[in-house]
Chains A and B, each alone.
Chain A
Amino acid sequence: MAVSTETAAPLAGTGASTPRSRRRKGGWRTALTFWYFVGPFFIGLIVFTVIPVFWSAYLSFFEARNTVTPLPEDFIGFQNYTAMLQDAAFTDALLTFTVFAAFIVPLTFAASLGLALLLDRVRIMRAFFRSVFFLPFACSYVVAALVWKMSIFSGVRYGLANTVLGLFGIEDTAWLFDPSPPWYWLVIVTLRLWIQCGFYMILFIAALRQIPEHLYEAAYVDGAKPGLQTFWHITLPQLRATSVAVLMLILIAAYQAFDEFVLLIGNQAYARPPLVYLYYNTLGMVQDLGRGSAGSLILALIIAIVTVLQGRFFGFGNKES
Chain B
Amino acid sequence: MSLDSQRSTPVGFRPGIGARVSRAAALAVLIGLAVLFLIPFYLILRNALATDAEITAPGWMWFSPDPAWDNFSRLFDDPSVPMARSLLNSLIVAVLTTVGTLFLCTTAGYGLARVPWRHANKVFYVVLATLMIPGAITFVPSFVMVSSLGWLSDYRGLIIPGLFSGFAAFLCRQYFLGFPKELEEAARVDGLSHWGAFWRIVIPNSGNFLAAIAVITFVGAWNSFLWPLVIGRSPESWTVQVALSTFLTAQTVSLSQLFAAALVAILPLVFVFLFLQRFMVQGVAQTGLKG
**Interface, chain A (partner B; CB < 8 A):** 2-8, 11, 14, 18-20, 25-26, 30-31, 33-38, 40-42, 44-45, 47-53, 55-56, 59, 68, 70, 115, 117-152, 156-158, 160, 163, 194, 198-199, 202-203, 205-211, 213, 216, 220, 226-227, 230-231, 234-235, 242, 245-246, 252, 255-256, 258-259, 263, 266, 274-275, 278-279, 282-283, 289, 292-293, 296-297, 299-300, 303-304
Given the complex, which residues of B lie within 8 Å of A158, measured CB to CB? 55-58
| Contact (A123, B6) CB under 8 Å given A53-B138, A160-B39, A300-B137 | yes
Verify A45–B142 contact, CB threshold 8 A: no
In the complex, whether B105 has a CB less than 8 A from a CB of chain A is yes
With most chain A CB atoms within 10 A of its CB, the pick from B1, B13, B116, B189 is B116
| Contact (A50, B126) CB under 8 Å given A129-B34, A142-B225, A255-B136 | yes
**In the A-B complex, the 10 residue pairs with the closest CB atoms:** A37-B111, A41-B108, A203-B288, A44-B164, A140-B223, A206-B285, A52-B141, A34-B117, A38-B111, A138-B269
Verify B34–A41 contact, CB threshold 8 A: no
* Residue in contact with A245 in the complex, picked from B9, B110, B223, B291, CB distance below 8 Å: B291
15 chain-A/chain-B pairs, Cβ below 8 angstroms: A2-B121, A19-B191, A33-B194, A37-B108, A49-B164, A68-B148, A132-B37, A134-B277, A137-B219, A139-B223, A151-B47, A209-B3, A242-B288, A263-B249, A299-B137
* Complex alpha-carbon distance, A263 and B37, angstroms: 21
Verify A115–B33 contact, CB threshold 8 A: yes
Verify B7–A213 contact, CB threshold 8 A: yes
Least CB distance, B25 to chain A, in whole angstroms: 9
Question: Could you list 8 further interchain pairs (A-B, Cβ under 8 angstroms) beyond the known A7-B116, A36-B111, A146-B258?
Answer: A30-B116, A30-B118, A48-B161, A48-B164, A68-B147, A136-B40, A150-B258, A202-B285
- From residue 30 to 62 of chain B, which have CB atoms closer than 8 A to chain A? 30, 33-34, 37-41, 43-44, 47, 55-58, 60
Total chain B interface residues with beta-carbon distance under 8 A: 118
* Residue in contact with A203 in the complex, picked from B22, B269, B285, CB distance below 8 Å: B285
Least CB distance, A258 to chain B, in whole angstroms: 5
* Complex alpha-carbon distance, A117 and B254, angstroms: 42
* Complex alpha-carbon distance, A38 and B57, angstroms: 60
In the complex, whether B68 has a CB less than 8 A from a CB of chain A is no
* Residue in contact with B188 in the complex, picked from A19, A163, A275, CB distance below 8 Å: A19
In the complex, whether B17 has a CB less than 8 A from a CB of chain A is no
* Residue in contact with A3 in the complex, picked from B47, B120, B194, B284, CB distance below 8 Å: B120
In the complex, whether B83 has a CB less than 8 A from a CB of chain A is no
Least CB distance, A42 to chain B, in whole angstroms: 6
Verify B26–A38 contact, CB threshold 8 A: no
* Complex alpha-carbon distance, A194 and B38, angstroms: 10
| Contact (A203, B133) CB under 8 Å given A34-B115, A209-B5 | no
* Complex alpha-carbon distance, A134 and B291, angstroms: 20
Verify A138–B137 contact, CB threshold 8 A: no
In the complex, per-residue mask of B192-217: 1 if CB is within 8 Å of any chain A CB, else 0: 01110010000000000000000000
Verify B3–A202 contact, CB threshold 8 A: yes
Chain B residue nearest in CB terms to A119: B30
In the complex, per-residue mask of B116-132: 1 if CB is within 8 Å of any chain A CB, else 0: 11111101101100101
| Contact (A11, B189) CB under 8 Å given A151-B43, A283-B230 | yes
* Residue in contact with B145 in the complex, picked from A33, A52, A145, A296, CB distance below 8 Å: A52
Verify B194–A37 contact, CB threshold 8 A: yes
Least CB distance, A223 to chain B, in whole angstroms: 13
Verify A118–B189 contact, CB threshold 8 A: no
Verify A216–B269 contact, CB threshold 8 A: no
Given the complex, which residues of B lie within 8 Å of A42, measured CB to CB? 108, 123, 126-127
Verify A6–B116 contact, CB threshold 8 A: yes
Chain A residue nearest in CB terms to B128: A1
| Contact (A36, B195) CB under 8 Å given A138-B270, A209-B5 | yes
In the complex, whether B84 has a CB less than 8 A from a CB of chain A is no
In the complex, whether B158 has a CB less than 8 A from a CB of chain A is no
* Residue in contact with B118 in the complex, picked from A26, A118, A128, A259, CB distance below 8 Å: A26
Verify A146–B107 contact, CB threshold 8 A: no
Given the complex, which residues of A lie within 8 Å of B60, measured CB to CB? 163
In the complex, whether B27 has a CB less than 8 A from a CB of chain A is yes
| Contact (A48, B116) CB under 8 Å given A131-B277, A144-B40 | no
Verify A205–B44 contact, CB threshold 8 A: no
Verify B37–A206 contact, CB threshold 8 A: no
Verify A18–B136 contact, CB threshold 8 A: no
In the complex, whether B10 has a CB less than 8 A from a CB of chain A is yes
Given the complex, which residues of B lie within 8 Å of A70, measured CB to CB? 144, 148
* Residue in contact with B12 in the complex, picked from A36, A156, A226, CB distance below 8 Å: A226
| Contact (A245, B288) CB under 8 Å given A30-B116, A31-B117, A52-B142 | yes
